[in-house]
Amino acid sequence: MTLFDTTILNTSGLTPDSRLAAATSSRANIFNMSQAAEQAVLRPEDCGAFGHDLRAALAARVAYHAGEHALADHYATAAGDKVALADPGAYDSGLGHVLTFVDKTANQTRDVAAEDISGLQAAGVSDADVVRLCELVAFLAYQVRVIAGLRLMQGTAG
């Protein structure tokens, strides 16, 4: 994968011919490590309770909420039969506690409290899976903001 094929640069529309190519190339290590982080968070070897398809659906859901539709589409294609959960309005009775936590952590971060974690634990989510879920949502918060910022820099936002 070349630098400009990484999800962040590709989704924000940057190419080797872009005016910002020099600035982004000087931080190539950061964009390559960001791609490694996507791999670790979306497609880990040890998935815990959340398989690759569900992770992709949740990532798409967070990206749609943030208004990053190209990124959301990128993840939705990997969501398999979980793709319905990519719709921010979708609900699944078996995963309600997970969806509620993902939506709140992504979008009302400041309001997350101890009860949100104890609620997941009471629903049977292990401590390791709580951390995995946080990393997924937290990485997406980073990725959508870098993409949004790069699009603004190029004057192609909106």
The answer to whether the beta carbons of residues 63 and 71 sit under 8 Å apart is yes
Q: Provide the token pair at 75.
A: 């993840």
Q: Which is nearer to other proteins, 84 or 112 (CB)?
A: 112
Q: Which CB, 42 or 57, lies closer to other proteins?
A: 42
Q: Which residues bind other proteins (CB under 8 A)?
A: 19-20, 22-24, 26-27, 29-30, 33-34, 36-37, 39-41, 44-46, 48, 65-67, 105-110, 112, 114, 116-118, 121, 127-128, 130-132, 134-135, 137-139, 141-146, 148-150, 152-153, 155, 157-158
The residue among 30 and 84 lying less far from other proteins, judged by its C-beta, is 30
Question: Would the CA dihedral through 22, 24, 28, 32 be positive or negative?
Answer: negative
| C-alpha–C-alpha distance, residues 103 and 127, integer Å | 19
